[in-house]
Structure 1
Amino acid sequence: MTIDVDSLLRKAVENGRMHGVAAAATKDGKIIYQGAFGKREVNSQSAPEMTLDTPVRLYSMTKALTICSVMKLVEQGKLALDQEARTILPELAVIQVLKGFDANDEPILAPLTKPITIRHLATHTSGLVYDTWNADFKKYLQKTGKPRGTHSKEVLRAAVLAREPGERWEYGIGIDFLGWIVQEVSGQTLEDFMQEHILKPLGMSQTSFYISPANQSRRLQVAQRREDGSLIPTPIAEFIPPAGTTDMLPGGSGMFSSCADYLKLVTALANGGAPILSSESTKVLLSNQLGDLAVQTLPAALPISNAAVPRPGEKWSVLGQVNVVDVPGARRAGSNSWSGLANTYYWIDPASRVAGVLCTQMFPFSDAQVLQTFDEFERAIYATL
């Protein structure tokens, strides 16, 4: 049965699930749906219309672009997934492991006993975590007064591990270290490397760590979901790097894009990787890398996120979350998917050669109403095939 995708998304806005949304999907490299609904501002009927080109902050959907950059260096023979990361960043040879807290509530730290590899960093098995979902790391930062975030080398040097590498999957800041590694290996800033090898080949002209004043004024305003389900505008504290910075750029969370632009990336990856990666590299990129480990629920430790609950037994590739079985009426086994903190979402289904993106800007992360809309959108797309 074909579902009217326009009506589905329009009703999502009318019912207050989102103030503005853009969504698009492709099959065999061709656009089969694209639409945008709502306004760029919260609770404002006079605001400009949401469009497919409206700028949004990607947050963790930045990670896919950083990982593609890593795989490009692997293709070039300049990096290997099982290479020890400390051979490039000595900081990762001396990073410590947080073992808990003593009777006086002071952190107990121990030396690292196993080397962290590039693969560990890419698959969130390095032991590096986010304070957003890890209460012990949150407590450690509060007790020590060390800065939170991922926006500079100095801040990353303050990190500790929640456990030894390879022991467990837990979502974390490893991709930010990989962005730093891309810069060290390539001799370019992460922005320049991405522009040359990923963004320009794909025609992603709206995607960058930087945002012009004109595009800043066109951004989709960020909303906050209140307990009664209503939406209000919310101020956000965000890092935008100064032009020409020689420090690292936050490869785990720092980029801006649009629904139309990001669709170009996921479409390429659903269809073998050209023109940015070989088909062999793309297969590695999208395949399960966790072995016997599995993706775990992320309990919220900060109010910017709800708990993030994966489907049972889901795995992780170098790129993102992997479902190990077909989802009835939706993506096939082996598909990859992930999201950004402000409720942006994508999926890549290489078996069906289908890819899709849905963008809004809202906190907390993992909003139930946005997730429901994303699921309905995906199912509507497959119903048309």
Structure 2
Amino acid sequence: MSSKEEVLAAAVARQDVPFVVAMTANAAGVTWSGAAGNAAAGRKAMEDTVFRIFSMTKAIGSTAAMILIDRGRLDLDTPVEDILPDFASIQVLDRFDGETPVMRAPKRKATIRHLATHTSGLEYEFWNPTVGRYLAATGRPSILAGTRDALFYPMMTDPGTRWGYGISIDWLGQVVEKVDGRRIDRFCQEEIFGPLAMNDTAFEVSPAMEARLASVAARGEDGIFAETALAPPPNPEVYGMGHCLYSTAPDYLRFLRMILNRGSLDGARILSEAGIARMLADNMGGLAFETMVTAAPPVTADFAPFPGIAKTHSFGFLRVEGDVPGMRSAGSQSWAGVLNTHYWIDPARDVAAVIMTQSLPFVEPRFMRVYEDYERAVYAG
């Protein structure tokens, strides 16, 4: 069994990743840190390297909503349109008549719980080609446009009928803004980042972070990485809590340690213990995670984690319902960002870990082998 250091060094040597930063922690503190490769030209990857964390933002957005639920200001089963009336205009894409989308009303109203568990019917074009066809046919913008108009994707299925990964957490962030009154960036700073001393987590790249920001690499058809550009839209009309944040490995570990500590860290309480229990429970109501099949191979591979083990979604995370031999325990929580920034939390074993780079395609087999080798090394150690 390779050590964690060996896993990282070998991954860069084989060009499975352009560079990598990884860290582990338990409830009490950081237990290990390592890095390999150059995060940008002439600049080594370091513990304080800044990443575009994309969908690692989602757990922060879900936590923001859970804070309001904890305080009795929001309910899991409230229809979204009761808070955001514009949401009622969203319909289910039934079929196409030629290139004209034919819409119908959803059979039930999407709730806060549906948003948090990706069962609202809203899906990304990267995994559902019909969404891409709809956007092209209607001229509607992608969610990465950062506009309010970009939130109005069609539902692909009726709410509460199946897992479909998409823009639900962007809407959840809008719910938080409406209920609380603060814009989501201010809410997160005052309620999460400030109390947790996450000083390198932000909605926009500060000058201090700019000097440590990693480059992005995409693997070409020749198998070689080349620098590319992909980032959340700066200063958008709407901050999408599905994708908008920048952070570092140590900062994100502070957030994960708060979860391990059942809602508090270093004297700052973010959620009640009951709130954490509610957040980590299976919230899918009998549904299950479904394999994500790519509609955009340069951006993402298929995602079918831990075959043979049941997977659900909690209020904030993907959740495994069984032990993974040699790896994480039943009840562990995880997710990732599209540029291959990944994390998991294993409350049963008191483990939190990140493994982060900035590369495309997301979850390509070469990266996923590195992730597995790293996770096995974490538990072997």
Q: TM-score range by the shorter chain?
A: over 0.9
Q: Give unpaired runs (5+ residues) of structure 2.
A: none
1:382 deviates by 1.1
Q: Give unpaired runs (5+ residues) of structure 1.
A: none
What is the percentage of aligned positions where both structures have the same residue?
38
1:33 deviates by 0.9
> Which of 248, 271, 280 does residue 274 from structure 2 map onto?
280
Match of 2:204 in 1: 210
SS in 2 for 1:25: strand
| Bigger Cα displacement from structure 2, 344-353 vs 269-278 | 269-278
Alignment partners' CA distance in 2, 1:54 and 1:108: 47
1:269 deviates by 0.8
Q: Deviations over 1:93-127 (max 9, x none)?
A: 2211100112x232110122311100000000000
Match runs of 1:179-194 below 5 Å: 179-194=173-188
Does structure 1 retain, via aligned residues, the 8 Å contact 2:93–2:154? yes
Match of 1:56 in 2: 51
1:335 deviates by 0.4
1:212 deviates by 1.6
> Is 1:14 the equivalent of 2:9?
no
1:237 deviates by 5.7
Alignment partners' CA distance in 2, 1:238 and 1:10: 29
> Is 1:352 the equivalent of 2:349?
yes
Alignment partners' CA distance in 2, 1:30 and 1:214: 25
1:354 deviates by 0.8
Match of 1:24 in 2: 23
Alignment partners' CA distance in 1, 2:58 and 2:147: 16
Q: Which residue identity is paired with 2:21? A: A
Q: Deviations over 1:134-181 (max 9, x none)?
A: 11111011111111115222211x321001100101111000000111
Q: Which residue identity is paired with 2:15? A: G
Alignment partners' CA distance in 2, 1:153 and 1:60: 19
Does structure 1 retain, via aligned residues, the 8 Å contact 2:52–2:231? no
> Which of 221, 237, 252 does residue 242 from structure 2 map onto?
252
Q: Which residue identity is paired with 2:343? A: Y
> Is 1:328 the equivalent of 2:318?
no
Does structure 2 retain, via aligned residues, the 8 Å contact 1:25–1:34? yes
Alignment partners' CA distance in 1, 2:67 and 2:346: 21
Alignment partners' CA distance in 1, 2:31 and 2:208: 30
User: When the two structures are superposed, what TM-score results if normalisation uses the length of structure 1?
Assistant: 0.93
Q: Deviations over 1:275-308 (max 9, x none)?
A: 3111111111111112321111111112311111
SS in 2 for 1:99: strand
Does structure 2 retain, via aligned residues, the 8 Å contact 1:94–1:112? no
| Bigger Cα displacement from structure 2, 265-274 vs 49-58 | 265-274
Alignment partners' CA distance in 2, 1:88 and 1:215: 36
> Which of 312, 316, 339 does residue 313 from structure 2 map onto?
316
SS in 2 for 1:218: coil
Match runs of 1:57-206 below 5 Å: 57-102=52-97, 104-150=98-144, 151-156=146-151, 158-206=152-200
SS in 2 for 1:319: coil
Does structure 2 retain, via aligned residues, the 8 Å contact 1:29–1:268? no
1:27 deviates by 2.3
SS in 1 for 2:35: strand
Does structure 2 retain, via aligned residues, the 8 Å contact 1:273–1:282? yes
Alignment partners' CA distance in 2, 1:345 and 1:119: 24
Match runs of 1:216-227 below 5 Å: 216-227=210-221
SS in 2 for 1:87: helix
Q: Which residue identity is paired with 1:70? A: A
Alignment partners' CA distance in 2, 1:130 and 1:217: 32
| Bigger Cα displacement from structure 2, 118-127 vs 307-316 | 307-316
Root-mean-square deviation (CA, aligned residues, Å) is 1.5
Alignment partners' CA distance in 2, 1:214 and 1:221: 16
Q: Deviations over 1:317-356 (max 9, x none)?
A: 1111111110111111000011000000000111111110
SS in 2 for 1:309: coil
Match of 1:269 in 2: 259
Alignment partners' CA distance in 2, 1:173 and 1:160: 10
Match runs of 1:357-376 below 5 Å: 357-376=354-373
Q: Which residue identity is paired with 1:130? A: Y
Q: Deviations over 1:246-269 (max 9, x none)?
A: x43111100000111111111211
Q: Deviations over 1:55-112 (max 9, x none)?
A: 100100000101110000111111011111111111122211100112x232110122
Alignment partners' CA distance in 2, 1:165 and 1:310: 24
